Structure 1
Amino acid sequence: MKKLRIGIMGAGQESLHSHFPNCLKNKELAEIAAVCDVNPENAKNAAQQFQVPAYYESHKEMLEKEELDLVTICVPNRFHEPLTVDALRAGCHVLCEKPPALTAEQAERMAAEAKKAGKILTYNLHYRYAPEVQMMKKMIDGGEFGTLYTGKVQAVRRRGIPGWGNFTNKAMQGGGPLVDIGVHMLDTALYLLDYPRPVYAAASSSDRIGKRGGAGLMGSWDPERFTVEDGLFGFIQFEGGISLQIEAAFALNCKEKQKMNVEIFGDLAGASVFQGEIYGEKNENLTDTKLPFVQEIDKRNISISNFIRCCAENDQPLITAEQGVTLMRIIEALYRSAETGKVVEL
């Protein structure tokens, strides 16, 4: 079988630590044919480091000159939509980093282009692949939780504002912790709830710590150039009476350095997903059950490998473009509610 040809868009730290090595782990199915980056030195260095035969400054030139089958996109959020659309129009399957885009409208255009091109568009929301999530998804689908009706999402750091990159630049990223770390836990909760249709969202946000500065656990940041939220706290109502609370923060004066978790509750059982615990009742006794044999895995590797396999076998990815649209509609509504102080209908 002819190997698929991969193009990697973006040669920053995340790409070097995840996209390149994990693509190389799938040598039986695909090969990295080219890399591009707006900084030509980054592209050149990545090509040399990973023995990639071609590198470019322009993604359009790479798409024109290389016969690519698929691309992975690892660039600032502002460029997710234009690069994805160009790649799809060039006949490539696309794995784009999270979040899908800056707006729901952009995510809708991306999904429409994928459908028009007949190509796969998926997102690197790799927490879905965690063994705890997959075990609980099977239990939920098997009816062991009964009817799920509420949950809680936490993606909180005590003082973890990144001191590098574009993470505090709203124009480049579209937001702060909600689109950086909160998006992972929100998507995980929605996946376990079978992606219900959202009805409305309400939220508040803060930038008090980010704009004041101070001690940090992830390097220092410039409070004068801090333009995103340092915390967002919200509520989402879905059809069928399902609700979610969400907490996403780069800096919150809590005890723990970091809390990344999803809690779900049904009428037969509930769970703390990333603690691997299930809370229920049996024979008129309350039960706490720990998931057995949960091993730490490289979720990014599984996500990228699954994408490559789906492209090779013409299979459907676990994360769909349509789910990306719903995710962005919710994120956009939470931000709008925090800005206006009003409930936002979806």
Structure 2
Amino acid sequence: MDKKLRVGIVGAGGIANAVHIPNYRKCGDQVEIVAICDVAVERARDTADKNGIPHAFASVSEMLDAVELDAVSVCTPNKFHKESAIAALEQGCHVLCEKPPAMTVEEAEAMAAAAKKAQKFLSFGFHYRHSQEVETLKRFIDAGELGEIYAATAIALRRRGIPGWGVFTNKELQGGGPLIDIGVHMLDTALYLMGYPEPDTVFGATYQKLGNRKGIGLMGAWNWENFTVEDMARGFVRFQNGATLVLESAFAANVQKNDEMNVKLMGDEGGANVFPLTIYQEKHASLVDITPQYLADKSPYKLEIERFVNACLTGEEPLSTPDQGIKLQKIINGLYTSAETGEAVKL
């Protein structure tokens, strides 16, 4: 393609440096990273210097006013997703926003409205959709191998995995703990494979049992005295089509595995565990397990960025859409509301 996508990065933290910048650079001549901004401008300048990015700024508005961009990656804490995404969309940029979509349903809806008005893409960083396990299973599902998927389980559990960096334990900046951080990944994966059904009712519970006291940290030491999020969340979702989903998510819990990320599906023609991928069916009077072999070794992060770039250059809709983001946000915030009130929440 002759056109080169001019990209700006909002936020110079870990996800920008580990995922977005290196994978944009792997796109070669299709992409030029023009600018980066961060409220800690020295951090932005340091990242720019290390990666050959021409411009560094202290704010998204300053960046958008100073340079011409085609697309923007939003890599900030959750609290700033809305303002950064809308500013970029209003400037005529496509946006790839890290998960979750926002802090509230109203914010997610405002972002979707801005994308629609600007006629630009708004996509989200749900990289598990781009994993080979999910892509393979999606082909089986689309071919009817699982039939009607009526039950799912989404699991995102860490034994002692409270992040010892960033703002992951700060409710004001993140909106919550493991549910909105890692649980959202497996929730999105399950919803994507189920065809993103319309949620109807949710019931949730959250716990703060381990994060607010000293303990073993397998992901570094965290500030336990200022731990303001849940360390575990559990939830139940009923969809308008009658399907149900159970979710478990924890930064710290007394479980066997140090880290478990998985989705389990049950349909009337078959079921599946996604990580690792195994499909369960009844065929020819026998119960059979199907385990796909030789899945390609492709980075889901790399594919996520490549496909976003391709969407921006070709006009092909990204895999993750604003409407899906709103449904997901409704479930997350509904579960938090249910946990606070002790009542089921009708969405």
**Same fold flag (TM > 0.5):** yes
The gaps in structure 2 that reach 5 residues or longer are none
Aligned to 1:145, what secondary structure does the other structure show? coil
Deviation of 1:27 (Å): 2.2
The residue type equivalent to 1:93 in the other structure is H
Deviation of 1:22 (Å): 0.6
Asked whether the equivalents of residues 3 and 313 of structure 2 are also in contact (C-alpha less than 8 Å), the reply is no
Deviation of 1:296 (Å): 3.7
| Structure 2 Cα separation of the partners of residues 298 and 19 of structure 1 | 13
Post-superposition Cα deviations, 1:227-268, rounded to whole Å, max 9, x if no partner, equal 000000110000121000000000010110011000000011
The 1:256/1:296 distance shift into structure 2, 3 A limit, reads farther
The residue type equivalent to 2:237 in the other structure is I
Deviation of 1:295 (Å): 3.5
Question: Which residue of the partner structure matches residue 65 of structure 1?
Answer: 66
The residue type equivalent to 1:317 in the other structure is P
Post-superposition Cα deviations, 1:106-131, rounded to whole Å, max 9, x if no partner, equal 00000000000000000010100111
1:312 counterpart = 2:308: no
The residue type equivalent to 1:27 in the other structure is G
1:196 counterpart = 2:223: no
Question: Which residue of the partner structure matches residue 126 of structure 2?
Answer: 125
Q: Percent identity?
A: 49
The residue type equivalent to 1:211 in the other structure is N
The residue type equivalent to 1:219 in the other structure is G
Question: Which residue of the partner structure matches residue 213 of structure 1?
Answer: 214
Question: Which residue of the partner structure matches residue 12 of structure 1?
Answer: 13
Deviation of 1:187 (Å): 0.3
The residue type equivalent to 1:170 in the other structure is K
Aligned to 1:301, what secondary structure does the other structure show? helix
Post-superposition Cα deviations, 1:81-114, rounded to whole Å, max 9, x if no partner, equal 0000100011100000000000011000000000
Aligned to 2:156, what secondary structure does the other structure show? strand
TM-score normalised by structure 2 residue count: 0.98
| Structure 2 Cα separation of the partners of residues 79 and 257 of structure 1 | 31
Deviation of 1:28 (Å): 2.2
Question: Which residue of the partner structure matches residue 74 of structure 1?
Answer: 75
Post-superposition Cα deviations, 1:3-24, rounded to whole Å, max 9, x if no partner, equal 1211111111211111111111
- List, as ranges, runs of 4+ consecutive aligned residues in structure 1 with deviation greater than 3 Å: none
- Mapping 1:181-260, distance limit 5 Å: 181-260=182-261
Aligned to 1:275, what secondary structure does the other structure show? coil
Question: Which residue of the partner structure matches residue 278 of structure 1?
Answer: 279
Question: Which residue of the partner structure matches residue 37 of structure 1?
Answer: 38
| Structure 2 Cα separation of the partners of residues 315 and 147 of structure 1 | 28
Deviation of 1:186 (Å): 0.3
The gaps in structure 1 that reach 5 residues or longer are none
1:96 counterpart = 2:109: no
Question: Which residue of the partner structure matches residue 172 of structure 2?
Answer: 171
Deviation of 1:65 (Å): 1.1
Deviation of 1:222 (Å): 1.9
Question: Which residue of the partner structure matches residue 140 of structure 2?
Answer: 139
Question: Which residue of the partner structure matches residue 345 of structure 1?
Answer: 346
| Structure 2 Cα separation of the partners of residues 81 and 288 of structure 1 | 44
The residue type equivalent to 1:98 in the other structure is K
Aligned to 2:255, what secondary structure does the other structure show? coil
Deviation of 1:212 (Å): 2.1
Aligned to 2:212, what secondary structure does the other structure show? helix
Question: Which residue of the partner structure matches residue 110 of structure 1?
Answer: 111
Aligned to 1:154, what secondary structure does the other structure show? strand
Deviation of 1:215 (Å): 1.0
| Structure 2 Cα separation of the partners of residues 178 and 322 of structure 1 | 20
| Structure 1 Cα separation of the partners of residues 147 and 126 of structure 2 | 26
Deviation of 1:279 (Å): 0.8
Asked whether the equivalents of residues 128 and 185 of structure 2 are also in contact (C-alpha less than 8 Å), the reply is yes
1:330 counterpart = 2:344: no
Deviates further, 182-191 or 207-216: 207-216
- Mapping 1:294-305, distance limit 5 Å: 294-305=295-306
| Structure 1 Cα separation of the partners of residues 102 and 331 of structure 2 | 12
Asked whether the equivalents of residues 78 and 102 of structure 2 are also in contact (C-alpha less than 8 Å), the reply is yes
TM-score normalised by structure 1 residue count: 0.99
Question: Which residue of the partner structure matches residue 321 of structure 1?
Answer: 322
The aligned length equals 346
Deviates further, 298-307 or 148-157: 298-307
Post-superposition Cα deviations, 1:120-155, rounded to whole Å, max 9, x if no partner, equal 000010100111111111111111111110010000
